[in-house]
């Protein structure tokens, strides 16, 4: 059986089911980010299920540094370590090396860098990244890539994309070797390749065509939401999408706002992840179906209504805007937890609404109604 | 009907039921501290019920400063504001004025002080404290008192205890006036008087006799756990207890460790509160029936067992020592929340065990078995 079934379409938008070693994911799906094997904001794994999370994402770079992927392997892999029995995707570590680590040096073999925690010198190439992800035992491993900043000179982007392709060949070889081992933590682990090329459409498309030929279980568009305009992002997705295989899941990495996600689905993307719901929640910014509210705003001081009328999240089901504002003003951790819970619930519910509208043939209306509303500040 | 029923005894230890406007409290009971109308460590009100909490305690001083008791009154009182439908006790604010506020000046009328948040000059006397607690609508209000530090000169302690008695008369008059008002937030609010006198037994006992004559709904022993030895604390409790009315609930303020509580029950105390379970939890110190563990200890790095085998709390029911240690080392808020949840569950379960042993006639054995164990570091 194929790991991905396409069960419906509306224009370019796709409705699918992804099968993993830890259960299925209905797509389009949002992956809830558990960077260090935990959701930021004191949200627990059992909360996460109540918030509608289908699949979690953890970070190879962070877990390699602390507590160490060897330790997690010894503890039975990431699923057992964090007691999460649903699917997990791990990124390659590349993005964090390029955004967090210090004094990095890129060579053909891989990247030397200093840990952002204790400064020790480390090296990661495709084999190391895949080995770490094998130790973690995630359901989906990501190929090791370089995420170039935007803007970057065309020449550098081209040579980086070429190297990322060579790294993908090595990632694939390491992945195949790892899942075939007798002591593999997760023999059902999949590998997704990552498309790069900044906002140069020809580099993006050539790269996408080449990696599509490798017949991987899935493909991601990486290197977006790193400084380009929304128009550049959408145009890039449209160009790349033309060259992505129809029968494989498509993942737009690190994106984004609710409208970004809606626009991504509209353009044929199946999977998303972003720290935004948790990060914005920790700052008191809450997504609602009417737009974004800042709970610290004085107008909510005596507002006994829930943040969003009718919302079924743990915040809105019980507490008032007035109380949440008090928690934020008093720096009570409970405020962050409730706000993050609401935002994750909002994102997961948005994906449910998108899927329901795809199933019911009403997605185009849903798209047009919501594309202007969701990111509005109210 | 009396607000307190004594339903069993073992030596001096008492088993009772306290009736409040928001339901009953089985005693001996531990009150879970929600200083600013929230439990520290991101524990929610619905969590609190699962942790076995019967009654919460909030702070008059903190809520007066932020968000303001007028606002809370306008929002329907503290129960509605924080969505907690079980009993609430509010302290008088005195302890915080004497421990947190700056540049305080004590006169017969009350205390002038500067807010620890923004420095503004405030005044609180018995009438103000009771008015704030009336606005909050707690089920149990505490009389306004001075908590003197230990050691203090005998002369000062005597004059302070005398003033605290005069303040109690004024607190009582203000309380009676407030609960009789048509617009009272909680007409069923009780007032507890507070015994003071540092570790001078004669001052303590004289003071206790005088306040017992006022026929209040309950009595507290204040001003302990502020620097004296455990022996001094236990001796003081024993001396005061002789003079406390049998048919009223007795509350030992701000105490303490699990063993302090067990010793308090043994000496005839019914109610306790302490920030310790939440504060220690936030630092990774966990109470277990075998003693206290520090989860940051390296020996727990690869320990897949729960913190306490057989414990039914949200931490132990799901997660391992190894994972909790990782959360603390990685400074993930989830670690604090799980540790605080465990400690509150531990305290509430200790009280359940105490009550069950009182009901079953086995309290003396329970006391002897546990008094050496619970505070041990393991």
Name the DSSP letter for residue B244: S
The dihedral of CA A47, B294, A336, A274: what is its sign? negative
pLDDT at A62: 96
What is the percent of chain B where pLDDT is above 70? 100
Beta-ladder partners of B303:
none
CB B340 within 8 A of CB B39: yes
Strands B56-58 and B29-33: parallel
pLDDT at A97: 87
Section A327-345 average pLDDT: 98
- B302–A46 CB contact, under 8 Å: no
Section B289-294 average pLDDT: 95
**Residue B374 sits at the chain A interface (C-beta within 8 Å):** no
Tracing tokens 């993005």 back to the chain, one arrives at: A95
Across chain A, mean pLDDT equals: 96
pLDDT at A330: 97
Section B123-148 average pLDDT: 97
CB A277 within 8 A of CB A342: no
CB B6 within 8 A of CB B18: no
pLDDT at B89: 98
Section B6-14 average pLDDT: 98
Sorting pLDDT into bands at 50, 70 and 90, what band is A206? very high
Query: What is the Cα–Cα distance from A202 to A208, expressed in whole angstroms?
Result: 10
Nearest Cα to A92, choosing from A70, A112, A71, A63? A63
For B194-234, the pLDDT digits (tens) are: 999 999 999 999 999 999 999 999 999 999 999 999 999 99
Q: Would you name the residues of A annotated as active-site residues?
A: 91, 273
Q: Is B335 helix (H, G, I), strand (E, B) or coil?
A: helix
pLDDT at A1: 53
Q: Is B301 helix (H, G, I), strand (E, B) or coil?
A: coil
Tracing tokens 């570590």 back to the chain, one arrives at: A93
CA distance B62 to chain A (A): 10
Query: What is the Cα–Cα distance from A311 to A349, expressed in whole angstroms?
Result: 10
Could you tell me the two tokens for A59? 């970070």
- B323–A36 CB contact, under 8 Å: no
Query: What is the Cα–Cα distance from A68 to A185, expressed in whole angstroms?
Result: 15
**Residue A82 sits at the chain B interface (C-beta within 8 Å):** yes
pLDDT at A100 over 90: no
Query: What is the Cα–Cα distance from B149 to B179, expressed in whole angstroms?
Result: 32
pLDDT at B99: 84
pLDDT at B314: 97
- B38–A74 CB contact, under 8 Å: no
CB A219 within 8 A of CB A211: yes
Query: What is the Cα–Cα distance from B249 to B17, expressed in whole angstroms?
Result: 9
Name the DSSP letter for residue B162: H
Q: Which of A42, A329, A333 sits opposite B67 (nearest CB)?
A: A329
Name the DSSP letter for residue A377: B
Assign residue A246 a region: left if phi > 0, alpha if psi is -120 to 50, beta otherwise?
A: alpha
Q: Is B18 helix (H, G, I), strand (E, B) or coil?
A: strand
Query: What is the Cα–Cα distance from B290 to A245, expressed in whole angstroms?
Result: 59
**Residue B49 sits at the chain A interface (C-beta within 8 Å):** no
Nearest Cα to A267, choosing from A247, A289, A248, A239? A239
Angle at A209 between CA A205 and CA A210, to 5 degrees: 120
The chain A residue lying nearest B41, using CA atoms, is A333
pLDDT at B1 over 60: no
What is the percent of chain A where pLDDT is above 90? 95
Q: Is B242 helix (H, G, I), strand (E, B) or coil?
A: coil
Query: What is the Cα–Cα distance from A277 to A285, expressed in whole angstroms?
Result: 9
- B39–A83 CB contact, under 8 Å: no
Omega within 30 of 0 (cis) for the link into A67: yes
Residues 303-322 of chain A with CB under 8 A from chain B are 304, 314, 318-320, 322
CB A252 within 8 A of CB A223: no
CB A357 within 8 A of CB A350: no
pLDDT at B104: 87
Q: Is B210 helix (H, G, I), strand (E, B) or coil?
A: helix
**Residue A75 sits at the chain B interface (C-beta within 8 Å):** yes
Section A309-336 average pLDDT: 98
Query: What is the Cα–Cα distance from B142 to A276, expressed in whole angstroms?
Result: 44
- What is the predicted ipTM? 0.97
Nearest Cα to A3, choosing from A251, A345, A291? A251
**Residue A297 sits at the chain B interface (C-beta within 8 Å):** no
pLDDT at B91: 96
Angle at B199 between CA B196 and CA B203, to 5 degrees: 55
Q: What are residue A65's phi and psi, to 5 degrees?
A: -75, -40
Could you tell me the two tokens for B255? 């105490």
Centroid of chain to Cα B212: 21
Tracing tokens 């305009």 back to the chain, one arrives at: A229
For A212-263, the pLDDT digits (tens) are: 999 999 999 999 999 999 999 999 999 999 999 999 999 999 999 999 999 9
Which pTM does this prediction carry?
A: 0.97
Residue B367 burial (CB count, 10 A): 18
For A44-66, the pLDDT digits (tens) are: 999 999 999 999 999 999 999 99
Could you tell me the two tokens for B213? 């004559």
**Residue B203 sits at the chain A interface (C-beta within 8 Å):** no
Long-range pairs, A150-156, Cβ under 8 A, ≥24: A150/A198, A150/A199, A150/A223, A150/A226, A150/A227, A150/A228, A150/A232, A151/A198, A151/A199, A151/A227, A152/A198, A154/A200, A154/A203
- B38–A334 CB contact, under 8 Å: yes
- A333–B336 CB contact, under 8 Å: yes
Strands B88-90 and B56-58: parallel
CB A209 within 8 A of CB A219: no
CB A66 within 8 A of CB B330: yes
Section B270-284 average pLDDT: 97
């Amino acid at each position: 059986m194929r790991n991905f079934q396409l069960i419906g379409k509306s224009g370019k938008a796709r409705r699918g089911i992804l099968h993993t070693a830890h259960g299925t994911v209905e797509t389009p799906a949002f992956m809830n980010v558990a960077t260090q094997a935990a959701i930021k904001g004191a949200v627990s794994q059992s909360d996460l299920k109540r918030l509608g999370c289908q699949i979690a994402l953890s970070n190879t770079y962070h877990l390699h540094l602390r507590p160490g992927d060897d330790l997690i392997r010894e503890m039975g892999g990431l699923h057992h370590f964090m007691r999460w029995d649903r699917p997990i995707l791990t990124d390659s570590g590349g993005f964090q090396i390029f955004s967090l680590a210090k004094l990095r040096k890129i060579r053909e073999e891989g990247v030397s860098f200093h840990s952002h925690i204790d400064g020790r010198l480390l090296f990661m190439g495709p084999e190391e990244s895949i080995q770490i992800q094998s130790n973690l035992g995630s359901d989906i491993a990501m190929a090791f890539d370089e995420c170039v900043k935007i803007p970057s000179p065309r020449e550098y982007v081209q040579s980086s994309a070429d190297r990322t392709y060579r790294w993908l060949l090595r990632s694939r070889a390491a992945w195949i070797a790892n899942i075939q081992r007798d002591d593999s933590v997760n023999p059902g682990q999949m590998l997704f390749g990552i498309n790069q090329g900044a906002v140069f459409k020809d580099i993006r498309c050539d790269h996408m065509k080449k990696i599509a030929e490798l017949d991987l279980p899935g493909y991601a568009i990486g290197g977006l939401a790193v400084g380009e305009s929304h128009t550049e992002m959408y145009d890039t997705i449209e160009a790349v999408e033309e060259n992505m295989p129809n029968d494989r899941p498509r993942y737009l990495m690190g994106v984004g706002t609710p409208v970004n996600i809606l626009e991504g689905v509209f353009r044929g993307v199946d999977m998303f992840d972003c720290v935004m719901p948790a990060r914005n929640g920790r700052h008191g910014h809450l997504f609602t179906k009417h737009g974004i509210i800042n709970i610290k705003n004085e107008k909510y001081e005596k507002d006994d209504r829930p943040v969003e009328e009718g919302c079924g999240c743990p915040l809105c089901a019980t507490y008032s805007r007035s109380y949440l504002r008090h928690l934020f003003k008093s720096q009570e951790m409970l405020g962050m937890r409730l706000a993050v819970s609401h935002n994750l619930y909002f994102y997961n519910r948005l994906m449910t609404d998108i899927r329901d509208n795809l199933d019911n043939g009403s997605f185009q209306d849903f798209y047009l109604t919501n594309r202007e509303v969701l990111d509005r500040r109210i």
